[in-house]
Structure 1
Amino acid sequence: MTILPVDRAILAALQENSRISNRELAARVGLAESTTHERVRRLVDAGVITRFTAEVDPAALGRPMQALIAVQLRPQSAEVVTRFLDAVVDDPCVLDATVLSGETDVLIRVAVASSEDIRTFAWQKVTSVPSVRSIQTHIVYEHRRGPTLTAGAQ
């Protein structure tokens, strides 16, 4: 699917507010409502839009502390990484996990109520996986989301 400038405008608007009505979206991008609806449907069908979601502030849910846990695994293999992710990602404190190249194999971002909760997760959940060679925990002071994926992208 070719992504046209109007599709980028639609994507930017939906990333800013996925609850925007089709009428508001159409007015914002300068298309008819039926055309806008069809373009969104095509973006979904093509896998460009993978889901519509609500962004939640973890602090508002009693989890004001975030940390990044850098994990080194041994041996390094796709199977080891998959088993590790399966063992830790389902924990409610995990916001996301990213598989990386370089010294760190997996970077886990967590949101918890206290530093003790970070310690418990790191020591009891993460290091209980046999393939974990080492971990480094980094407290997050501030987290900001960048601009929408389509901004300036060609």
Structure 2
Amino acid sequence: PYTEIAKRLNLSESTVRKRVQALVEEGVIRRFTIEVEPSRLGLRTVAIIGVDVDPPRLLEVAQRLSQLHEARWVATSTGDHMIMMEVWISDGRALTRLISERIGRIEGVKRVCPAIILEKLKG
């Protein structure tokens, strides 16, 4: 990867490697990762879900949601919903079951507001 970056920036590979290493040491780069195409794994439905909870249970519910294997990320937030999460799942029927049988049954959950992603344009 350093070679490709170096070519694009018209720099030497060693310069790129040193700069990246410095960014890692400074904590600017926290990790290196891969990007997965969920549909290639049979996960054809991606949804962002807003979850409203009883305030005293906020962190407890967020922790429980983060344990769901379908959850890509879970965050507490301000705004329309107290918790936001992204899930990858096989289809709409499976999403309905996830919401009704698992998320909705977590003690403290008051409301679940899913939004299915139609097309990802960036990120």
TM, length-normalised to structure 2: 0.87
Equivalent residues of 2:45, 2:89 under 8 A apart: yes
Unpaired runs of 5+ in structure 2? Answer: none
Counterpart of 1:62 in structure 2: which amino acid?
G
One of 53, 72, 75 as aligned partner of 1:95: 72
How many pairs were matched up? 123
Counterpart of 1:141 in 2: which secondary structure? coil
Structure 1 residue 106: deviation in Å? 1.1
Indicate whether 1:24 and 2:1 are aligned: no
Q: Which residue of 1 aligns with 2:22?
A: 42
Aligned ranges for residues 105-116 of structure 1 at < 5 Å?
105-116=82-93
Structure 1 residue 92: deviation in Å? 2.1
Say what the alpha-carbon RMSD is for the aligned residues: 1.7
Unpaired runs of 5+ in structure 1? Answer: 1-19, 147-154
Structure 1 residue 61: deviation in Å? 0.3
Counterpart of 1:39 in structure 2: which amino acid?
R
Equivalent residues of 2:62, 2:75 under 8 A apart: no
Larger relative strand fraction: 2
Q: Which residue of 1 aligns with 2:104?
A: 127
Counterpart of 1:107 in 2: which secondary structure? strand
Q: How many Å separate the matches in 2 of 1:144 and 1:89? A: 25
Q: How many Å separate the matches in 2 of 1:39 and 1:87? A: 39
Q: Which residue of 1 aligns with 2:59?
A: 82
Q: How many Å separate the matches in 2 of 1:54 and 1:136? A: 29
Equivalent residues of 1:88, 1:125 under 8 A apart: no
Structure 1 residue 72: deviation in Å? 0.7
Structure 1 residue 99: deviation in Å? 2.1
TM, length-normalised to structure 1: 0.71
